[in-house]
């Protein structure tokens, strides 16, 4: 492996660095809440041990694997695939506007910003089908929102993310658009490929040992926000694409599946998708 080559395991380690840099609030400990959650979490595990009559050999294998996930730097990756989907559903249960889903480990704030329309930064020879992704940010009544921010990031045609795999320009396939009074945004990009969670580290070993597949369907990542509205973090998928019905991260929802059509002008495909935002 060379350092300029994108590899899956390298992406996992980079995700840990990005998470560690993220600002987190550390309030006072709510002992009653921690106690209640810890009691139930441990009770759920105790039940698994009894149900499956877990052996000492398996218990030691678990300890060895947990140590390895930390050493590999794959905790953000593992948790975003196998746990985040439930946290997201609880967090967004009371929304009635645009539907959210998991953020995943590969978001970076501060991508190049444009007004109303943009071609995402990409390499001269960027492989992939050209794709026009456009829509309107509105309130829940459908009124366009001025000054909304639409952030878009996605993997390249090989399933790698800039800043998490080496050899890809810093802001490749990452950008953000600020809307004007019509609330509209239009991104020109390429369609991403399905993404394989790193198979060469401890998360991959877990998936393999369980006899599962490591794939997520091709997806766009978005954060959409506006003054006085709730920010929505979501992903959009491609109708009929591989793994849409069988996402290892269980993050697909029917409302998030795009139905692109051949572009009205030029090569590739296009789709329109609107974001009605809930009030803050
Ligand atoms: C992971 C990667 C993604 O692109 C995503 O959207 C969710 C999770 C991961 O590898 O953990
Ligand atoms: Fe992703």
Mean pLDDT of the 78-91 span: 96
Q: What is the pLDDT of residue 3?
A: 38
Global pTM value: 0.92
Asked if 217 and 252 touch (Cβ cutoff 8 Å), the reply is yes
Distance from Cα 246 to the centre of ligand 2, integer Å: 15
Q: What is the pLDDT of residue 191?
A: 96
Distance (Å, whole) CA 81 – CA 206 = 12
Instruction: Decide which of 14 and 192 is more confident.
Output: 192
Distance from Cα 181 to the centre of ligand 2, integer Å: 30
Q: Which ligand is nearest to the CA of 14?
A: 1
For the CA of 78, the closest atom of ligand 1 is: 11
User: Per residue in 111-164, pLDDT tens?
Assistant: 999 999 999 999 999 999 999 999 999 999 999 999 999 999 999 999 999 999
Task: Give residues with Cβ within 8 angstroms of 168, minimum separation 6.
Answer: 6, 156, 160, 161, 162
Task: Give residues with Cβ within 8 angstroms of 152, minimum separation 6.
Answer: 120, 133, 174, 175, 176, 177, 187, 189, 220, 221, 222
Q: In this structure, which residue's CA is closest to atom 2 in ligand 1?
A: 104
Q: What is the pLDDT of residue 1?
A: 33
> Within 10 A of 63 (CB to CB), how many other CB atoms are there?
9
Q: What is the pLDDT of residue 204?
A: 96
Q: In this structure, which residue's CA is closest to atom 6 in ligand 1?
A: 104
For the CA of 197, the closest atom of ligand 1 is: 10
Q: Measuring from each residue's beta carbon to the nearest atom of ligand 1, which residues come in under 6 Å?
A: 77, 80-81, 102, 104-106, 195, 197, 216, 249
User: Per residue in 176-234, pLDDT tens?
Assistant: 999 999 999 999 999 999 999 999 999 999 999 999 999 999 999 999 999 999 999 99
Q: In this structure, which residue's CA is closest to atom 1 in ligand 1?
A: 104
Q: At 140, is the secondary structure helix, strand, or coil?
A: coil
Burial 237-267 (b: 16+ CB within 10 A, else e): bbeebebbeebbbbbbbeebbbebeebeeee
């Amino acid at each position: 492996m060379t350092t300029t080559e994108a590899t899956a395991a390298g992406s996992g380690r980079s995700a840990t660095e990005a998470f560690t840099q993220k600002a987190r609030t550390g309030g006072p400990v709510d002992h009653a809440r921690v106690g209640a959650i810890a009691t139930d979490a441990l009770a759920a595990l105790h039940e698994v041990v009894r149900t499956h009559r877990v052996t000492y050999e398996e218990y030691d294998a678990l300890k060895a694997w947990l140590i390895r996930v930390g050493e590999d730097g794959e905790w953000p990756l593992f948790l975003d695939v196998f746990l985040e989907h439930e946290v997201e559903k609880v967090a967004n249960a009371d929304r009635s506007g645009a539907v959210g889903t998991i953020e995943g480990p590969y978001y970076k704030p501060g991508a190049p910003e444009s007004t109303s329309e943009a071609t995402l930064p990409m390499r001269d020879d960027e492989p992939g089908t050209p794709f026009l992704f456009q829509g309107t940010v509105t309130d829940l009544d459908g009124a366009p929102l001025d000054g909304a921010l639409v952030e878009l990031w996605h993997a390249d045609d090989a399933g790698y993310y800039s800043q998490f795999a080496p050899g890809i320009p810093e802001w490749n396939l990452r950008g953000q658009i600020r809307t004007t009074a019509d609330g509209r945004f239009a991104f020109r990009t390429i369609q991403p490929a399905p993404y394989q969670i790193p198979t060469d580290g401890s998360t991959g070993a877990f998936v393999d040992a369980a006899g599962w597949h490591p794939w997520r369907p091709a997806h766009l990542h978005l954060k959409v926000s506006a003054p006085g509205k709730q920010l929505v973090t979501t992903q959009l998928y491609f109708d009929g694409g591989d793994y849409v019905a069988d996402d290892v991260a269980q993050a697909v929802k029917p409302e998030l599946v795009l139905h692109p059509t051949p572009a009205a002008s030029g090569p590739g495909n296009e789709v329109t998708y609107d974001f009605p935002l809930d009030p803050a």
